[in-house]
């Protein structure tokens, strides 16, 4: 009992110390960000030399702090392997009929889908319409495979979803029209492979599906490729009564009674070759040992930030404008800011007594798809470096360097019932105008922990026009407030580390159904959603210059409440509405500006 009283007394003192801004913090934060964003590090792309230099720098700082490597690790740097890129390695398609044999081998005719396995398969062909299957839970019957036997066959399916259905049905189907999901459906029905063609009545008509950046490893058992419209037309020469265009037209009104059919008279041999470049990335992880970790039900608390960025932006998620393409993406806010704040928070935590072990985790591979944090949690052989059931909570900092008007967004607070209290206690000395958000499904590393049933929190100071562009540079960082974010992060972590009982985990139901994927999002509007403001509707933090939204006269601060006849109450409504609009066809956009309702017409363009 006495011991506990003592600890409390020390705690109060530690909080008092923590409540005062650290002397010199602003200067060290600036020096961290300056180094991480230097040209030498070339945008810290995972697997690059720049990433390695950043990792070495962070490891050096951890050493100076007096952190130690995780139990069982020799070093702060912990490697993980990942797929750095995919190329077509010479995929071919061969047709063998009674009188003719044909072969296509150029990437203009046939190309692997980036998630495909490498394999050669031979079989007859079944045209399965759009290859769409909706789960029963959707209360909307649509199954392209009704009455079709595709066992042992190669399925030929159209990309996207029926073009002429009503908006509501399209929005339902759109969610299940991702190519990976379609390939999975074909495989589940015993098909040997999936061939996809963008129909003549669809956007990108007849074009090969580009190989996107995909970090999937091989071994999924899916064999899939895309073929050109010209190749599909040649396959359809074997169909007696219709062309591909006619077949598509009969499907486009969504009549569920129009089914696919076997294409007789030939066999196809599809030989898919995907080249995957394997590389090594490094998480950097240090630990500040607790005073009584054994006395805690869950002896670890994690505070983390990703330190990787986009390099020169060649992996598909750069938003560089034409004149910036290929430039170094410095990623000062995303996420040199969080990295620096984590180092600063670590320095603060060294001086604060904590029962649990505090782990400072610097992730790599975040920009490529949460690779580092996921590898950390799952391990190379599904063996986590830190058992998640020993982890009391995870606090993440991603993009925390652009604070405006004292506003800090604290996300994922729905993941545990303890967060409101901890946020309150931590914020009284720091004094942010905090906006809280419940949803733990976020585009950052905290999501990997949420998936592992660990309570999470994410700190964020808001998106901006330099997001994922080379213009996200060090001099735009608000260092004074960054120091306060570090202080706040340290305080929350400190309180977590000293809680008698580990926080409960609340499993928040995701509001978004899975099944879709980025390749279903076809329309481009050039809107930049504001992720930090809770409004009814979609508030814009900006519009992309020259994009359809800008052309329509939309601007920062506008709140979209209606789009193409759909009511918009949140970003999901907007995404759904966007999935089903037709490119080049004007839609009405209703928005609020300074409390007044306005309506404009916007014409979405094609997303490339």
Secondary structure class of 49 (helix, strand, coil): helix
Q: How far apart are CA 84 and CA 368, in angstroms?
A: 9
The C-alpha atoms of residue 607 and residue 585 are separated, in whole angstroms, by 14
* Binds 122: which of Zn ion, other proteins, none (CB < 5-8 Å by kind): none
Is 426 a binding residue for other proteins by CB under 8 A? The answer is: yes
- Tokens 């017409």 belong to 601
Least distance (Å) between residue 269 CB and other proteins: 33
Q: Which of 531, 582, 586, 598 binds other proteins (CB under 8 A)?
A: 531
Nearer to other proteins, 155 or 497 (CB): 497
Residue 12 Cβ vs other proteins, minimum distance, rounded to whole Å: 6
Q: Tell whether residue 217 is a contact of other proteins (CB under 8 A).
A: no
- DSSP per-residue codes, 69-103: EPTT-SSSEEEEEEEEEEEE---EEEEEESS-EEE
Helix (H, G, I), strand (E, B) or coil at 502: coil
Q: Which two tokens stand for residue 196?
A: 């996809």
Structure tokens at 536: 């009814």
Nearer to other proteins, 95 or 133 (CB): 133
Convert residues 447-486 into a mask of x (bound to other proteins by CB under 8 A) and - (unbound).
x------------x--x---xx------------------
DSSP E strands in 42-197: the ranges are 68-69, 77-88, 92-97, 101-104, 110-112, 119-127, 154-158, 193-197
Interaction with other proteins in 143-202: which residues (CB under 8 A)?
178
Q: What is the CB-side half-sphere exposure of residue 381 using CA atoms within 13 A?
A: 0
Q: In the complex, which residue's CB is closest to Zn ion? A: 334
Over the window 342 to 381, marking each residue x when it contacts other proteins by CB under 8 A and - when it does not, the resulting string is ------------------------xx-xx-----------
Please say whether the beta carbons of 520 and 176 come within 8 A.
Answer: no
Handedness of CA 495, 496, 502, 507 (dihedral sign): positive
How far is residue 50's CA from residue 42's CA, in Å, rounded to a whole number? 6
Number of residues near other proteins (by CB under 8 A): 74
Among positions 425, 453, 603, 605, the unique one binding other proteins when judged by CB under 8 A: 425
Would you count residue 511 as binding other proteins (CB under 8 A)? yes
591, 605, 520: which is closest to 553 by C-alpha? 591
Judged by the rule CB under 5 A, the positions of this chain that interact with Zn ion are 334
427 binds other proteins (CB under 8 A): yes
Q: What is the DSSP letter of 333?
A: I
> Residue 327, SS3?
coil
Q: How many CB atoms lie within 10 A of CB 126?
A: 23
Q: Does 341 bind other proteins (CB under 8 A)?
A: no
Residues 540-559 that bind other proteins (CB under 8 A): 559
Instruction: State the Cα–Cα distance between residues 502 and 416, nearest whole angstrom.
Output: 10
| Binding of residue 404 to other proteins (CB under 8 A) | no
Among 146-154, 237-245, 524-532, 541-549, the segment contacting other proteins (CB under 8 A)? 524-532
The Cα diameter of the chain in Å comes to: 93
Q: Whose Cβ is closer to other proteins: residue 388's or residue 521's?
A: 521
**427, containing H or E segment:** helix 419-430
444 binds, among other proteins, Zn ion, none (CB under 5 to 8 A by kind): other proteins
Site string for other proteins, 6-45 (x = CB under 8 A): ------x--xx--x--------------------------
| Interface region with other proteins, contact rule CB under 8 A, candidates 38-46, 186-194, 203-211, 565-573 | 565-573
Q: How far is the CB of 444 from Zn ion (least distance, A)?
A: 8
521 binds other proteins (CB under 8 A): yes
- Number of Cβ within a 10 Å radius of residue 608: 7
Contact of 525 with 547, CB cutoff 8 Å: yes
Question: Whole-number minimum distance, CB 575 to other proteins, in Å?
Answer: 7
CB of 134 to other proteins, least distance (A): 17
- CB of residue 54 vs other proteins: minimum separation in angstroms? 17
């Amino acid at each position: 009992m006495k011991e506990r009283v003592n600890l409390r007394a020390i705690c109060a003192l530690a909080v008092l110390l923590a409540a005062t801004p650290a002397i010199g913090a602003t200067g060290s934060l600036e020096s961290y960000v300056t180094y991480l964003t230097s040209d030498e590090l070339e945008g810290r792309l995972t697997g690059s030399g720049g990433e390695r230099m950043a990792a070495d720098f962070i490891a050096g700082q951890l050493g100076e702090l007096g952190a130690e490597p995780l139990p069982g690790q020799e070093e702060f740097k912990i490697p993980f392997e990942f797929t750095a890129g995919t190329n077509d390695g010479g995929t071919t398609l061969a047709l063998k009929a009674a009188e003719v044999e044909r072969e296509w081998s150029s990437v203009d005719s046939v190309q692997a889908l980036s998630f495909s396995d490498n394999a050669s398969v031979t079989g007859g062909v079944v045209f399965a319409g759009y290859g769409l299957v909706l789960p029963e839970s959707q209360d909307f019957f649509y199954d392209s495979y009704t009455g079709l036997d595709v066992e042992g066959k190669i399925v030929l399916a159209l990309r996207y979803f029926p073009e002429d259905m009503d908006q509501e049905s399209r929005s339902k189907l759109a969610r299940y029209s991702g190519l990976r999901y379609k390939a999975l459906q074909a495989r589940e029905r015993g098909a040997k492979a999936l061939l996809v063609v963008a129909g003549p009545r669809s956007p990108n008509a007849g074009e090969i599906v580009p190989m996107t950046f995909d970090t999937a490893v091989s071994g999924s058992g899916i064999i899939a490729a895309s073929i050109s419209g010209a190749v599909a037309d040649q396959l359809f020469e074997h169909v007696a009564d219709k062309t591909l265009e006619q077949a598509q037209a009969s499907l486009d009104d969504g009549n569920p009674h129009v089914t696919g059919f076997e294409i007789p008279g030939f066999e196809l041999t599809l030989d898919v070759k995907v080249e995957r470049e394997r590389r090594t990335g490094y998480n950097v992880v240090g630990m500040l040992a607790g005073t009584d970790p054994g006395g805690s039900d869950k002896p670890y608390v994690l505070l983390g930030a990703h330190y990787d960025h986009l390099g020169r932006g060649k992996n598909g998620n750069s938003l560089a404008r034409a004149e910036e393409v290929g430039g170094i993406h410095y990623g000062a806010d995303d996420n040199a800011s969080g990295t620096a704040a984590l180092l600063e928070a670590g320095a603060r935590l060294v001086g604060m007594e904590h029962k649990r072990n505090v782990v400072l985790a610097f992730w790599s591979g975040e920009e490529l798809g949460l690779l580092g944090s996921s590898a950390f949690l799952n391990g190379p052989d599904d063996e986590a470096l830190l058992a998640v059931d020993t982890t009391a909570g995870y606090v993440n900092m991603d993009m925390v360097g652009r604070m405006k008007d004292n506003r800090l967004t604290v996300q994922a607070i729905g993941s545990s019932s303890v967060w409101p209290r901890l946020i309150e206690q931590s914020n009284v000395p720091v004094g942010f105008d905090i906006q809280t958000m419940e949803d733990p499904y976020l585009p950052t590393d905290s999501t990997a922990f949420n998936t592992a049933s660990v309570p999470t929190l994410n700190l964020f100071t808001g998106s901006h026009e330099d997001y994922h562009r080379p213009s996200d540079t060090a001099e735009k960082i608000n260092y004074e407030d960054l120091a306060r974010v570090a202080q706040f992060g340290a305080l929350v972590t400190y309180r977590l580390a000293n809680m008698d009982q580990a926080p409960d985990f609340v499993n928040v139901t995701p509001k978004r159904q899975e099944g879709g994927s980025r390749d279903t999002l076809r329309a481009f509007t050039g809107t930049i959603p504001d992720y930090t403001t809770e409004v009814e509707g979609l508030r814009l933090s900006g519009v992309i210059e020259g994009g359809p939204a800008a052309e329509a006269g939309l601007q920062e601060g506008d709140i979209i409440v209606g789009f193409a006849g759909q009511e918009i109450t949140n970003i999901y409504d907007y995404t759904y509405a966007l999935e089903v609009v037709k490119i080049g066809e004007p839609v009405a956009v209703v928005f609020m500006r300074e409390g007044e309702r306005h309506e404009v017409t916007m014409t979405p363009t094609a997303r490339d």
